[in-house]
Amino acid sequence: MATFSTILLLFSLFTLTCAKCHPDDEQALLSFKSVITADPSAMLSSWKAATDCCTWAGISCQAPDNRVNSISLSAQPNSYLSGTIPSSLSKLRFLDGIYLQNTRNISGPFPSVLFHLPNLQYVYIENNKLSGRLPENIGDLSRLYALSLEGNGFSGKIPSSISKLTGLTQLKLGANQFTGTIPDGIRQLKNLTFLALDRNKLTGSIPDFFTSFANLRILTLSYNRFSGNIPASISDLAPLLAYLELGHNSLTGRIPDFVGKFRALDTLDLSWNRFSGTVPTTFGNLTKIFNLDLSHNQLMDPFPVMNVKGIESLDLSYNRFHLKQIPKWVSSSPIIYSLKLAKCGIQMKLDDWNPSETYFYDYIDLSENEITGSPVKLLNRTDYLVGFWGSGNRLKFNLESLKFPATMKTLDLSRNLVYGKVPKAVTGLNSFNVSHNQLCGALPATMFPASSFAGNSCLCGSPLAPCKA
């Protein structure tokens, strides 16, 4: 019994004397706090001198010496931290991870202190306002496992010395202002599982160097200025590749047959490019695909037979397809939330469309097709619909019979044959367009412009001409 209490006493003495953080760590963190000029949500309120810094918000320490090993701060959706990353952080000799995510207003150049932290392995400084060029010697950070500078204002070229960061498993430089081409040296980063260079101003062709990457699962190059074809070596990323995002570039040529080899593909975005020819029949093997966006290309019929059980979002809009029907694999999906088939040559009576599950639908875009009938039955089943676009069809129904889902924000029925009056229920929408239909009568008071109502038989009242008494 006595022995037990002694052990207990010794143990509590031990934790009392040793749990306090190292003075260098405390000083370094307080110097960081001192350059924070605004912290509206009091994220750093627990950072107080002479208290154990290992208990401060966002700080973790590691045995045996109880030294600070990570800083992890992430602001709430409407909050931020203003300030910079000071060189005094170099006192954190045991820091292995720095995570400043969504703090939004941390500014200044690339923090040179990163070169002076000998144990640093994980850098996630995301959605802040760092700017300027990346240092030419960024390759000296060769101990890094992960580098994410996503969502800052970095510009200039990606330095070629990045090829020396061979330990990286994640490289995320998306949503900056990088220019130039993808450095060929990235082929040396053989351990990458995640490569994101999306939302920059990168040019040239996508390098044909993917043979190197045995573990790559996520590749996002969308929203750049890449041209040329999809390189053949991307084929070597099968079967592991799960996300392939190449949308919003100027890519040309055909979609290669090998895309069907990506059995694990979850998301494929090839939208807003200049791909032509047909979609390969090998797409029939993409049974796990949840998100498929081929919109805004020059793709032609026939669209392949798909064998996916649950597509979540599909966009085939604005190609050269003549699908005639909404495909069965779409109508039968139990989890679909977004369906966009604008200008896909669909010829049907909307009342006849009977999707098996409508619970998850947020967005339906069937604009610019040859669709007749009425969306009344459909909108009566889509209780959480946020947007419906049906312009440029031959929909013919009484607008007063339409039930508006409480969640609905956008309704575009322009250029159809809709009749009746404009009901008061439309006032709850953010965006509404019934121009060029056969509506009549006095308009309810709304914020919508005249172009939302133009070209009808006999609508009147603001913003159109006043009704005759």
Name the residues that contact ligand NAG, by CB under 6 A: 37-38, 82, 105, 107, 166-167, 191, 260, 281-282, 284-285, 376-377, 380, 391, 414-415, 433, 435, 449, 451-452
| Alpha carbons 192 and 213: distance in angstroms, whole number | 7
Question: What is the smallest separation between the CB atom of 223 and ligand NAG, expressed in angstroms?
Answer: 25
The string of DSSP codes covering 333-362 is -SS--EEE-TTS-BEEEGGG---S--TT--
- Omega into 302 within 30° of 0, i.e. cis? yes
74-100 burial, b at 16+ Cβ within 10 Å, e below that, comes to bbeeebbbbbbbbebbbbbbbbbbbbb
Q: Which residue is nearest to ligand NAG (CB)?
A: 284
44, 45, 228, 235, 389 from 56: Cα distances, Å: 8, 9, 51, 48, 50
Question: What is the smallest separation between the CB atom of 234 and ligand NAG, expressed in angstroms?
Answer: 17
Question: What is the smallest separation between the CB atom of 167 and ligand NAG, expressed in angstroms?
Answer: 4
Whose Cβ is closer to ligand NAG: residue 35's or residue 440's?
Answer: 35
- Omega into 239 within 30° of 0, i.e. cis? yes
Question: What is the smallest separation between the CB atom of 291 and ligand NAG, expressed in angstroms?
Answer: 20
Question: What is the smallest separation between the CB atom of 68 and ligand NAG, expressed in angstroms?
Answer: 24
DSSP symbol at 434: -
Residue 295 sits at the vertex; the CA angle it makes with 289 and 301, to the nearest 5 degrees, is: 85
Whose Cβ is closer to ligand NAG: residue 200's or residue 433's?
Answer: 433
Q: Which of 346, 325, 199 is nearest to 272 (CA)?
A: 199
Q: Which of 157, 72, 78 is nearest to 123 (CA)?
A: 72
Whose Cβ is closer to ligand NAG: residue 121's or residue 249's?
Answer: 121
Whose Cβ is closer to ligand NAG: residue 224's or residue 435's?
Answer: 435
Question: What is the smallest separation between the CB atom of 24 and ligand NAG, expressed in angstroms?
Answer: 26
Whose Cβ is closer to ligand NAG: residue 452's or residue 456's?
Answer: 452
Question: What is the smallest separation between the CB atom of 417 and ligand NAG, expressed in angstroms?
Answer: 14
Q: Which of 316, 313, 247 is nearest to 278 (CA)?
A: 316
Whose Cβ is closer to ligand NAG: residue 376's or residue 442's?
Answer: 376
Whose Cβ is closer to ligand NAG: residue 376's or residue 386's?
Answer: 376
